[in-house]
Chain A
Amino acid sequence: MTLEEAEKEALKCVHCGFCLESCPTYNVTRNELFSPRGRVLAFREGKSLEVFASCLFCRRCELACPSGVNYSKIYVEAIRRVRKLDVSSVVESPKLLSLTLRALRRSRPYLPEPREPLTHKDERAEVVIFPGCVTSVLFRGLVEKAVKYFRAVGIKTEVVNGCCGLAHLHSGNEEGARRAVERLRERAKGRPIVGLSSNCVARLKEEGLEAYDFAEFVVKRGLPVKGRAELVTVHDSCHASHFGLGKYTREALRMLGAKVVEMEEPNYECGAGGYSFILNDDVSEAVSEVKKNMIAKTGAEAVISTNPVCTLNFLRKGLRALHVLDLMEA
């Protein structure tokens, strides 16, 4: 992605406004300063670029845009010039990430205790488990369970810790994002990657890696699963829903014996996109509230979230959020 490409995308925008109602930050403000169309215009005019700071980078606007404007390209170019905070070096190092999260925990008690990422490698491992940076330190239990599960079904795995680069993109660090993917590509050595963070999986797919979300892998390989029959609703995390990963989550849940009640808009943004789960402002809070109400209306016992940042945001809002793995017996 380059400035030139971003400019080309911005020029494709015919200002029709068809993206407005799809955008969570517009929904809660109804103001062009928080709309995709407004952001694209700001970029085109080189004015008021700070309107990108409130963008949750959920890419719903891309799905709605009839002219095929690739908003991501514009976002990454613009946000670089606006964002003061860059977490790239933090997410690349589990130590730094743990330290940071530990500090954040003081004011955010809903955050789980950070732990050392799990290292694991079977002889002649055929599949790579990629937890994703946040999952690796905050949800280590999921990684352990995944390793155990694959062992039980006779698949040899290696856990590869690291970052997919999505966090880098949120601060416009294109170069860092690309390097993160390249590192993963090298370490996967052509083996299929099974991700435990669905938005990271989406990013890897987009970059052409053979990556599967955990549920997707289970369904596509027809692996056996057993689990608890709970009444749940499914949150489709934003980037993952671009790749239609939600249908595998639902299929895996069905195989487990769980019952799914759908909420009004399962792929509606959780409210934590961009850096909002750290920088939480009024707008992202209002979006979180919309989402929380959608979940509450279903009467489900838990919301299934396959992406850690969404999960954290749900925990913050006092909801019970679980990964598919949490419902599995391993």
Chain B
Amino acid sequence: MSLLRELQEIVGKEWVVSGEAATLYSHDAFLLHKGSPSLVVLPGSEEEAVRVVRLLLKRKERFIVRGSGTSLSGASTPLDDEVVVSLARLNRVHSVEGFEVEVGPGIANFSVSKSLPTHLFYAPDPSSYQVSSIGGNISHDSGGIRVVKYGPTYNSVLGLRVLLSDGSVEEIRTSPLLNHKSIFVGAEGTLGVILRARLRTFRRPENTKTLAALFESLEKASRAIVEIFNRGVNPSGLELMDRYSIRAVERSRFRAGIPETEALLLIELEGIPEEIRRDEGVVLQVLEELEAEVIVPKDKEEESRLWAARRGAFPAMAYIFPAYITLDCNVLRRDLSKALLKIREIARKHGVYIANVFHAGDGNLHPLIPFDPNNRESMERAVAAGVEVEKVVIELGGVPSGEHGIGIEKVGFMRRYYTEDELKVFRRIKEAFDPDYLMNPCKLVQREDCRPASEVLTKLWEAD
């Protein structure tokens, strides 16, 4: 029987997409490559998902598991003609108890919070939280604004149900010894298929307060970030928007009337009123010492306008150019200033616009490099600048990706960041879990026979 027929028998005819329509699954939010999936299959239950994946494994088909397809690194983009397995329909809330919630991998991050009693919330909040799936969040160890206080997805995962390449279904629980939960978080779907996740939630803070500070220089803004922590304040959000991202936002529907300045810091404090008052005093002192102009939003509406501007900064780039590369390299807070200035230099050198809007509290940079997808030269310049940014960050001791993942975008940087020995260890891990390299092939950890499927990918992969 053909694969198509067998899959149809498991999930029903209407849940297998083939032919021209499969093009609609040719890429995710990473815009530099399009694959041509041979088939797309959408199982409707855990049992169906298990049968589908077992069938693919038995037939030695290469496949990609995806959720909402919002990856910025192409982790859910087929490189070539892999079968795409969408788990978007596995979006059930299985149970809510105490501070724990158990969900299917296809549920959107936002829907998790919605399913909780009002006094609880699910902490990780990547910009795509309205739509991105929990399975994808786990596979990328997604962060967001609240990382600075609550940590990335890793800190919110308590247990996983995973389908392994030998067809077995395993319950992975947090264990005090050789904690194996960690290996599936951030594995980008290369080691197993996540079927269910048990997540921890937090109690909603009683109050929050937002402060905004305008700086005349990136150095001073960077010093403020370091100082806030040095003086014992851990904000629940600490974001930086530079001149170029402010400019983009102010031209978009997210405009909040932010004056164009070198850097804007958005600081959120939370807790009981006394805590907030104490932290606010400390933060205001730091801001004053560094000659920032402080804006205290007059009401909740103004606060949410500022945060909406921050959240809208990525898509706002579309008002400048219809496509952009989003890097998410990470440096230590104390190196932020150096990294930011170097990035400015790179932008000048390559004649590109680089906007920076990022999770400053945890040093997770987001240089956005827009390009015109119809203009090769513009695309190449953007890629070249991106490669150089990553190099600079790695030289500063940073990591190539903080939260968007390696996917197909940053595999080239793996060689720059890790030694040959370390990469060998990665490959051994991969081979232990997936000896035939069938799961999300050529992402994150590559076998020698992976070929870049386009010129742009060649440039990115040969980045070192």
Q: Is the CB of A17 within 8 A of B131?
A: yes
- B57 contacts A by Cβ under 8 Å: no
Q: Which residues of B contact A47 (CB under 8 A)?
A: 20-21, 23
Does B318 contact A68, Cβ atoms closer than 8 Å? yes
Within 8 A of A (CB), among B60-119: 68-70, 86, 88-89, 91, 106, 108, 110-111
Contacts of A51 in B (CB 8 A): 21, 24
Chain B residues positioned under 8 Å from A38 (CB to CB)? 24
**Bound CA span A41–B26, Å:** 10
Considering only residues 33-64 of chain B, those with a C-beta below 8 Å from chain A are 40, 42
Contacts of B319 in A (CB 8 A): 67-68
> Do residues B322 and A11 form an inter-chain contact, with CB atoms below 8 A?
yes
- Tell which of B28, B40, B86, B316 touches A15, judged by Cβ atoms closer than 8 Å: B28
CB distance from A26 to the nearest CB of B (A): 9
Contact among A20, A32, A41 for B131, CB-based, below 8 A? A20
B233: Cβ under 8 A from any A Cβ = no
B29 contact from A12, A16, A32, A64, Cβ within 8 A: A16
The reply to whether the CB of B212 lies closer than 8 angstroms to some CB of chain A is no
Q: Counting CB contacts under 8 A, is A110 at the interface?
A: no
Chain A: CB-nearest residue to B71: A17
List the B residue with the shortest CB-CB distance to A15.
B29
Shortest Cβ distance from residue B187 to the other chain A in the assembled complex, whole angstroms: 21
A41 to B315, Cβ gap below 8 A? no
* Alpha-carbon gap, A20 to B128, bound state (A): 11
Question: Which one of B24, B252, B324 lies within 8 Å of A32 (CB-CB)?
Answer: B24
Residue of B whose beta carbon sits closest to that of A50: B21
Q: Which residues of A168-224 have CB atoms within 8 Å of chain B's CB atoms?
A: none
A65 to chain B, nearest CB (A): 8
Complex CA–CA separation, A38 to B315 (angstroms): 18
* Known A14-B322, A17-B70, A68-B319; contact A48-B31, beta-carbon cutoff 8 A: no
In whole angstroms, how far apart are the Cα atoms of A19 and B26 in the complex?
A: 18
Complex: how many Å from CA A259 to CA B276?
39
For B28, what are the chain A residues with a Cβ–Cβ distance below 8 Å?
Answer: 15, 17
Which chain B residues border A14 with CB–CB below 8 Å? 29, 31, 315, 317-318, 322-324
Nearest-CB residue, chain B, relative to A66 = B315
CA distance A226 to B455 in the complex (A): 71
**Contacts of B322 on A, CB cut-off 8 Å?**
11-12, 14
Q: How far is the CB of B135 from chain A (nearest CB, A)?
A: 13
Whether B24 pairs with A12 at a CB distance below 8 angstroms is no
Residues of A34-82 at the interface with B, using a CB-CB cut-off of 8 Å, are 38, 41-42, 45, 47-48, 51, 64, 66-68
Minimum Cβ distance to chain A for residue B250 (Å) = 14
B42 touches A30 (CB 8 A): yes
- Interface status of B25 (Cβ within 8 A of chain A): yes
Quick check: A48 and B23 within 8 Å, CB to CB? yes
Inter-chain contacts of B111 with A (CB < 8 A): 21
CB proximity of B109 to chain A, nearest CB, Å: 10
Q: CA A323 – CA B89 in complex, angstroms?
A: 36
- For the complex, what is the distance from the CA of A88 to the CA of B428, rounded to whole Å? 65
In the bound assembly, the distance between CA atoms of A186 and B154 in angstroms comes to: 64
A33 at the interface (CB under 8 A from B): yes
> Which residues of chain A come closer than 8 Å to B253, judged between CB atoms?
66, 68
How many angstroms between the C-alpha atoms of A45 and B108 in the bound complex?
27
Q: Are B70 and A16 in contact (CB under 8 A)?
A: yes
Assess the B315–A17 pair: CB atoms within 8 A.
no
B28 CB to closest chain A CB (Å) equals 7
Knowing A47-B23, A48-B21, A68-B253 touch, does A31 contact B131 (C-beta < 8 A)?
no
Q: Are A31 and B29 in contact (CB under 8 A)?
A: no
Contact in complex: A21, B108 (CB < 8 Å): yes
Chain A 3-33, CB-CB to B under 8 Å as 1, else 0, gives 0000000011011111111000000001111
- A42 CA to B23 CA, complexed, in Å: 8
Which residues from A are CB-within-8-Å of B40?
A: 32
Q: List 20 A-B contacts (CB under 8 A).
A: A17-B68, A17-B69, A17-B132, A20-B68, A21-B111, A30-B42, A31-B15, A31-B89, A32-B24, A32-B25, A32-B40, A41-B26, A47-B20, A48-B24, A51-B21, A66-B252, A66-B312, A66-B315, A66-B318, A67-B319
| Other 4 A-B pairs with CB < 8 A, given A14-B315, A31-B88, A48-B20 | A14-B31, A17-B128, A45-B23, A66-B254
Binding site for B on A (CB under 8 A): 11-12, 14-21, 30-33, 38, 41-42, 45, 47-48, 51, 64, 66-68
Task: Name the 6 nearest CB pairs between A and B, nearest first.
Answer: A66-B315, A67-B318, A30-B88, A38-B24, A32-B24, A48-B21
